[in-house]
Each structure stands twice: as structure tokens, then as C-alpha cells.
Amino acid sequence: MLDSPLIPDAEYDKLFRELQALEEQYPELRTPDSPTQRVGGKPLDAFQPVRHAVPMLSIRTETDISDQGAIAFDVRVRRELGLSENDPLIKYVCELKFDGLAINLRYEQGRLKQAATRGDGETGEDVTQNVRTIHQIPLSLQGDCPSILEVRGEVYMARRDFERYNERQREQGLPTLVNPRNGAAGSIRQLDSALAARRPLKFFAYGLGEVQGWEWRTTHEEVLGQLGAWGFPVNREHKVVQGAQGLVNFHRSIEAKRDQLPFDIDGVVYKVNSLALQEKLGFVSREPRWAVAHKYPAEEQVTVVRDIDIQVGRTGKLTPVAKLEPVFVGGTTVSNATLHNEDETRRKDVRVGDTVIVRRAGDVIPEVVAVVLDQRPTHAGEIFDLYKRLHGKCPVCGSAIVREEGEADWRCTGGLFCPAQRKQALLHFASRRALDIEGLGDKLVEQLVEVGIVSTSADLYKLGMSALVDLERMGAKSALNLLDAIEHSKQTTLARFIYALGIRNVGETTAKDLARHFGSLDNLMTADEARLQQLPDVGPIVAQSVAAFFAEPHNREVIFQLRAAGVQWAEHEGEPVRELPLSGKTFVLTGTLPSMSRDEVKVTLEERGAKVVGSVSKKTDYVVAGAEAGSKLDKARELNVTVLDEQQFTQLLKDCEST
């Protein structure tokens, strides 16, 4: 398609979309060799070089991360423009500095013609085939558009997409991506576009290259507005400000919410708003004088692994954790970083003594992403072997450890005999979304378990003043507060209680489903695996975990004691008898329907008994796909899940009425 097109791309696009629409309407006509079934094109041998019509320059980076970095830029701009103190403040557009891969998109007569990487700024690589698989990039522009338009922006991977992608890879024992930036860059430079298409990429537009047929633009702000109008995603966090103080305020306000952003940024960018002033300022050594990048503390740092510890989680999962030479990364000092599991540790080949790259971004726990191999000392430890390392025993309780077939994790078999599991189980029981016992933190649980006064959650309700005041750092006042919080926690809900039990594979959502479905704890406790699997989202693994948990006499005893201590909730009949037309059906929504908002679709489905979930799996019954449907649609096709367009969806709702 790329090397020797038989028809123009624009024509191809049109035909392709027509075919897609037809197939959506008449799924029986869809054949496996239809072009719509091939998300990317044929693998390439190499990328073709592309000479940029307008060079893709980089911007000067202000590495002084204090306010001074912003002030210095404003001072420079004013000096270059020959402005005095009495002249008015300069208007700037402040933007985020996205941490991905810069791309130039070339549109001719409104159609995407070519996408190229930056390369050395003069010549990049033709990555059109891969870029076309990014759903957020318009293949044709909306409304009136210039005859030639080059749009510049950043291809990136959102943090959640990156985490999910890696989680899936880890589960399957496949290599993970180092960070979202490498994820984006690696996917775009992937020669097989079908593989590239499987990576969840997104795009933000922030500037222009060559333009013919749009002469009268005057500010950068106007450019961003127009980019949005043509159909490009433009990040909302941009702002027009005045003077140095405006820049400083923007830098600070973004820093405060950096962790909450859905994607990585490594700084902010300031651009002089007036295009006339930009022209006047011009360039110096291939960098514009009218723009600067103002950085934030790095989210990746290099440090040394002092040791590898193994932590025991609530369900006995053994996680290797790198003990690090403390390092300032992503705004805090980090001295522990997860290595996830044995396979990951081996694949990255992390050894004691190694120099490693540590990443901490957003509120995700810090992780070791890679080893700097050429800095490995001669005395570095051996390749990581969890079993050998622990001599086959849990480091906390000495019970045997096992790694079941098909599982990525080793586990301690000690159950609640293991103090580590006990502590984690207690912390989980008391956590906010479980029984919400305020004040029962890490240190306290540690002491209670060490001293031996608490070993199960039921023991918490036997605590009295005398036992508590003897503990370290526990005055009479905090002891009273804690007892009060414990007393308070006795009134709860069934869903919270089920979640608090800490059953393996039962998170908050499953706990809610179970509570709603069974209505009472006794119903749930007596349900067998087959009965449990009647719930739409409960598969064999979850069913087995639940049944095994309640079969364990020790667990039944703890539950008995909790209830005897007064822990209670309102019980009601479950809902198994209430059969609605879509009961047991799972839906996933993607794209937008012209006639209904996403929330309306969700409520409509739920009212008819269906469950609406976020991602497509083999258990999904239907995917409702609207305009601009994303990767979920590809996934649905891959798994042969029925896809409904708006018309088919409306028909389904009508059918519901008649049943």
C-alpha cells in the first residue's frame, strides 16, 4: 500500500469506510480476508526517508526546575525584542511537554498523506502505515481546510494503557515495555503495522509545519483552536498567560497535578503567543527563541541495587523488591522498587550490585525498568532464582513456597499462619474500602501481630484499653480513638464485609456482585462453584477461590467470631430470581452514538439486567460500537465478539421490550 499504491490513499480511505459500514450492517457478509480485518498493512523491510518541508526543530530546555527557569525565559524574550520595563507584559501560551514521540502529519486536500518521525530534524522516517492505526488521528480533516497542512504533535501512550499492556504481557510471560515513551516510540517504529496497531497509542497536536492556503493566522492560541476544529486532539491543559509570573504560576499548578495526569510529561512548554513576535524573534542554532521547555524532576533515575528482598503479600504472593541506594525520582526519595515477579527479574536480569534505571510516575509504585549492563560490577550477584534464594521456604514463616503451573507468582503456603500474610490481611480488613478502621495503620498492625495479641480480624474486636496503652507510641487518647473506630466499623455492608475477608481474586467489584446476587452471607457461604459461576463476571478461577475460602474451617471460625462480636449489615434477598431480558449479558461500549450519551446507553442496558464493563474479553457478549470506535472494536473482532452498531443496538433494545 505504501510503496506502490494502486489507487490514491484518499480514495482508498473512502472505499474502506464504506466497506466497514456495510459490514457492520450485514456482519454475515464479512469475510476473513476483508481489508477491514487487517488492522495494519504488510510488514515493511525498512522505513523510507522523508525530507521535511519545514525542518522539525527542537526547543531549548530550561533545566533549572525552579521558578527562575521561567523568569529567565521571559527576561531573554524581552531583551531580544528590545522591550523596557515600562512596556506591556508579553502573552505566552503555556502547554504540557508530552513525553512521547514527535510526529509530522501531512495532509493534502484535507487527506492524511504521510506521517513522519522527526529524525535528525531535516529528514525523518515514513511511518504512515503505523500512524494510520492511531484512532485519534483524523484520516481526513473536518470542515474547510488548507490545500497543504502539516500538523505536528506527539504520539504517546497513556499510563493506564501502558500499565495494562505490561500487566497482560507479564501474565503471559512476555517482555514488558520500559516506559510509555518507549512504548510509543517502539510501536511507531515497528515495521509490522499489525503489531503496532495492537499498542494503545494516542496523539496531541501542538503546532504546524508547512501550510499552504491559510495565511491569516495571528496567534498560536488561534492555531490550537483551529487544530481542534479540524478534528485533532488538543490537550485542554493549555493556557494563555501574561509575563513571567504567569509562566511561574502555570509551572507550579501543573506540577501540583502532574501525578494525576493520565500520561507522562517531563515539563511544560512556553510559547510566545503572537506569531508576528515569533517571527521577529526567529531562531538561534536551530532552536526557536520564542519557545522553551521548562522541566520537572525526572521520573526515571539511575541508582544501584543493594539487595533483593522478597515481600510476602496478603494472599501469600512473593514479590521480589529491589533495595536501592536512595534516589530522588518523580518528586520523592525512593529506596524500594518492585521487580514484579521472578520471570520479570530474570528477563531484565537484575542482580545485586547492578546499576539500574528506576521509574516512579503518577501514583504507581516505583519499579526497576532496566539494568545498565555496561556498568555491571565484576562482583555482581548471580542470576535471580527465587526458590534457591529462599531455600524453598517463606522468608517470614518458613512454610513451603509453591509456583503453580501457568502462574507467574511464587506463593507462601502458610496462609494465616504466616505473620506477613496476617499483617497484610489485617491491613486489608481495616482499609478504607473494607471495614474502614481509621488509625489502624502499618506500624500498629505490626506491633499487634508481633506481640501476639491479634492474629485474626476477629481479635481486633477483643482489644481493650489495657492491651493498647502498653504499645509503643500509643497514648490513652489514640487508644480511645482506635477503640471508637473499631466499634464504629461493626456497622457495615455485606459487600464491604466480603471484600474485607480478603478472598483471593475477589476485589471490590466482585464483592459487590456477590453481595447483590446472594443477598446474605449464608447464601454465599453455601454456594458451590457451579452456583458461583452463574454470576456473569465470575469465572472458574474466582469461583474456585471463593468456594475454597469458605470451605476452610479456620475462615468459617473467624467469620463466626466476627458476627458474635457484633459485626453486622442489613441482609436482604438476593436477586437470582429477578430475570431481566439482558440478565447475564456483558456489554462493552466504544465510540459515541449520535442519539444517546454513553451514560444513557449504560443505564439503559443496566436497567435491562445487563452488565457494562470497560474492556473486551472472551466473556463479553456484545460490543456496542459508535463513531470513532477505538481499540476495543479491534479487540472484539479479534475475539469474535458480536459487534452492534447503533441500528442493531436499537433493534436489540426493541427486542427486549417484546420479551
Nearer to ligand IVH, 217 or 393 (CB): 217
Among 126, 150, 154, 299, binds ligand IVH (CB under 6 A): 154
The least CB distance from residue 207 to ligand IVH, in Å, is 5
Nearer to ligand IVH, 268 or 412 (CB): 268
Nearer to ligand IVH, 278 or 510 (CB): 278
Interactions with ligand IVH, residue window 167-186 (CB under 6 A): none
Nearer to ligand IVH, 59 or 656 (CB): 59
The least CB distance from residue 268 to ligand IVH, in Å, is 8
C-alpha cell at 195: 503489531
288 binds ligand IVH (CB under 6 A): yes
The least CB distance from residue 22 to ligand IVH, in Å, is 39
* Active site (annotated) includes residue 97: yes
The least CB distance from residue 186 to ligand IVH, in Å, is 16
Say which residue the cell 529491589 belongs to.
Answer: 322
The least CB distance from residue 330 to ligand IVH, in Å, is 18
Nearer to ligand IVH, 40 or 207 (CB): 207
Q: Where are the beta strands (DSSP E) in 170-316?
A: 202-212, 239-242, 265-272, 283-284, 287-288, 291-295, 300-312
Count Cα neighbours of 477 within 13 Å in the Cβ-side half-sphere: 0
Among 59, 277, 302, 580, binds ligand IVH (CB under 6 A): 59
Per-state percent for the chain, helix, strand, coil, to nearest 5: 40, 20, 40
Nearer to ligand IVH, 58 or 526 (CB): 58
206 binds ligand IVH (CB under 6 A): yes
How far is it, in rounded angstroms, from Cα 362 to Cα 366?
Answer: 10
Measured in residues, the chain has a length of 659
The least CB distance from residue 44 to ligand IVH, in Å, is 23
CA 551 centroid distance within chain: 36
How far is it, in rounded angstroms, from Cα 410 to Cα 390?
Answer: 11
Query: Helix 553-564 and helix 540-551: axis angle, to 10°?
Result: 70
Size of the site for ligand IVH (CB under 6 A): 15
207 binds ligand IVH (CB under 6 A): yes
Q: SS3 sequence, 147-170?
A: CEEEEEEEEECCHHHHHHHHHHHH
Q: How far apart are the two ends of the chain, measured CA to CA in Å?
A: 48
Which value, in Å, is the radius of gyration of the alpha carbons in the chain?
29
Task: Answer yes or no: are the C-beta atoms of 426 and 445 closer than 8 Å.
Answer: yes
Judged by DSSP in three states, 326 sits in strand
Q: What track of x and - describes contact with ligand IVH for positions 293 through 332 (by CB under 6 A)?
A: x---------------------------------------
How far is it, in rounded angstroms, from Cα 37 to Cα 21?
Answer: 13
Q: What track of x and - describes contact with ligand IVH for positions 79 through 118 (by CB under 6 A)?
A: ----------------x-xx---x---------------x
How far is it, in rounded angstroms, from Cα 106 to Cα 114?
Answer: 5
Task: Answer yes or no: are the C-beta atoms of 264 and 299 closer than 8 Å.
Answer: yes
Nearer to ligand IVH, 19 or 57 (CB): 57
Among 1, 10, 19, 57, binds ligand IVH (CB under 6 A): 57
Can you give the binding site for ligand IVH, defined by CB under 6 A? 57-59, 95, 97-98, 102, 118, 154, 206-207, 269, 288, 291, 293
Annotated catalytic sites, by residue?
97
